[in-house]
A = this chain, B = another copy of it.
Amino acid sequence: MIKAVGYAAKHSYSKLKRYEFEREEAKANEVEIAVMFCGVCHSDIHQVKDEWSNTVYPCLPGHEIVGRVTKVGGDVTRHAVGDMVGVGCMIDSCRTCEPCRTGDENYCEGPNSWLATYNGPMVPKAKADDGKNHYGRDNTFGGYSNIVVVPADFALKIPAGLQPEVAAPILCAGVTTYSPMKHWGVKAGDKVGIVGFGGLGDMAAKIAKAMGADVTVFTTTKDKLDEAKRIGVTGVLEDDTKTMTSLKSSFDFILSTIPEKHDINPFVKLLKRDKTLTICGALEPMKGVDNSEVAFHRRSVAGSLIGNLADTQEILDFCAEHHIGPDVEVIAIDKINDAYKAVIDGDVRFRYVIDLATLDRNDD
């Protein structure tokens, strides 16, 4: 066993606190990684607070992990000690279902679905069709810690051109927005709408722009219009009815990145005929959609969940090549509870990234 330390919450009402625990040594197919940086995702907060009613405690979040390989199992050829690697939302999948066989591990249909980087299998034992947990672990501990140990094929290569703290949020916010844009065929010249301009929206807008799309971000926060201008996209206030009306039936694709229940009806109207609005931020019952607006133009409303391993590598490389990435604010881990509050309060457009070196500060 390896002694490890991180920040975890013991209950839904608890703050994150320093937490010492043990990890298993790397198996033949695994790598041990010394974590350098870990992004703070809005879903970390949902999970810590048990807002999806499925949290296993203690909850040690973090699925935007960048670090250096410190040990490799005997069968590992993909990575070597010293390599800079990244770990996103998944650390394993069933590897036998149709989605896994075709490289869509994020849609794993095994009895427990994929194994999340923290909080264990996506489908726990109690909800599994066969009542079993094939991963043998009810809980997993994420990247708010000094060490992670994961199967080598679930560790991505961080390209040379990316700073590690910038690469971290690409592993979740980047691929979560890139994957649906790729799947629904966003291409140069398309008019793409991004609803919500927080961590996901910022990445989505930059990626869509780098893909050559004509990008509009929709926000409720006036201050963010300047930020849109700064990154070279159009910003529209959702309550600017005149502009919203003028944009009717003009978008080829719209991605909603808002991380909680919201109303997509104002945006459905903006889609061209036969086009799709995809929700990649919220994982909950949404406000009802007016099927008259959907049916009259044969539009679709879809959902998308993170991205597969190949897409994750692709978007890391794409960001390096196009010199784009999230705007990050690096914080010490003992500031994590303040960071959560700021994210909940709403106006954070940049991504908080924890510098795990700060764990040592009070390590003794």
Contact = CB atoms under 8 A, between A and B. Distances in A.
Copies in the complex: 2
A289 B183 CA distance: 21
A302 interface: yes
A303 to B, nearest CB: 3
Interface string A295-329: 11111111111000000000000000000000000
Interface stretch (A80-88, A158-166, A279-287, A337-345): A279-287
Report the contact-size class of chain A (Cβ under 8 Å from the partner). Answer: 35 or more
Nearest to A297: B107
Nearest to A283: B292
Given A249-B109, A284-B290, A288-B286, A301 B302 contact: yes
A302 B302 CA distance: 8
Contact of A279 (B107, B286, B294): B294
B304 A298 contact: yes
A283 to B, nearest CB: 4
Contacts of A284: 290-292
A273 B107 contact: yes
Given A273-B107, A283-B292, A288-B285, A301 B300 contact: yes
Contact of A303 (B109, B282, B294, B304): B294
A185 B83 CA distance: 46
A99 interface: yes
B286 A282 contact: no
A305 to B, nearest CB: 4
A145 interface: no
A298 B109 contact: no
A47 interface: no
22 contacts: A104-B273, A109-B273, A276-B300, A279-B291, A279-B294, A279-B295, A282-B291, A283-B292, A283-B296, A284-B291, A284-B292, A285-B288, A285-B291, A288-B289, A294-B301, A294-B302, A295-B304, A298-B302, A298-B303, A298-B305, A299-B302, A300-B303
Given A109-B249, A300-B301, 10 more contacts: A99-B273, A284-B291, A285-B288, A285-B291, A286-B288, A294-B303, A298-B303, A299-B302, A300-B302, A301-B301
